Amino acid sequence: MKLAFLFPGQGAQYVGMGKDLYENYEEARKIYDKVEELLKLDVKKISFEGPEEVLNQTKNTQIAILTHSLSILEILKKYNINADILSGLSLGEYSALIYAGVLSFEDGVKIVRKRGELMQDNVPEGTWKMAAIVGLEDEKVEELCKKVKSGFVVPANYNCPGQVVISGEEEAVKEAMEIAKSEGAKRAIELQTSGPFHTAKLEKAAEKLKRELDKIDINTDFTKQIIRNIDSESYKKDDDIREILSKHVMSPVKFKKGIEKMLEEGVDTFVEIGPRKSIVRICKKN
């Protein structure tokens, strides 16, 4: 058996997530308490009680999901369950990097909180939207985005065969959704997000994140195989990891190709380390 751990990003959150872990596992309690001590933030209240509009703020969502994932990892460690290869969807890549020891627990938690704040606070003026287009090939979605006349919209997440998330100005996204339906898409679904994530519109956030990443240590002596979102290749010891992570927020997520790469390398078991089973559903379509 070759085991992969998959870590989710924004969208996997829900009010009440992690409460069962905290109540039943000492390992989870230690993680939540340690994160709260580091950040001086009531992550338990945000995660367990919400309300939804607070949890769904990007600065809170990211740290809540990360804490949940790290708690599960700590429990699995107790039972000597370890992965051969790792991949994370957007934010989830940080969970993978912490698990692999590329980022320390302390630095990882702090940079994820800062990443969430920067992505929330550096969205350009305007009304932004993301939507999932289901049932069209990647190239078709790329082409229809170019047909849009009402504003900026581009592919942002290549999730799985037949599912691409687009991102951009609200009217442009809505126009792209209508074009997609007219060209045979099975569904076009608006997502609950607050910015044009994984597009060039987050360049300012990327620049500020790079300055924050320059302040922390990166361990390049890692042994786990970690798949990068930006190109679906494995991290290498001589990579400029800070540069990769800063560009990450303004580059499309190529998750589909990452899953294909893991299958080619013999992965036969995927375990999602997060609040929902959203990534596992994506894998079943590969």
Which residue matches tokens 């790290």?
Answer: 70
From 87, 198, 232, 248, active-site residue: 198
Nearby residues of 155 by Cβ (< 8 Å), 6 or more positions away = 138, 141, 142, 145, 164, 165, 166, 167, 252
Is 198 a known active-site residue?
yes
Q: Considering only CA atoms, which of 32, 38, 35, 36 is closest in space to residue 19?
A: 32
Q: Considering only CA atoms, which of 112, 110, 121, 115 is closest in space to residue 40?
A: 110
Q: Considering only CA atoms, which of 281, 262, 283, 284 is closest in space to residue 12?
A: 281
Is 90 a known active-site residue?
yes
Q: Is the peptide bond before 51 cis (omega within 30 degrees of 0)?
A: yes
From 90, 95, 234, 251, active-site residue: 90
**Residues, the chain:** 286
Backbone torsion region of residue 275, taken as left when φ is above 0, otherwise alpha when ψ lies between -120 and 50, otherwise beta:
alpha
Any idea which residues carry the catalytic annotation? Answer: 90, 198
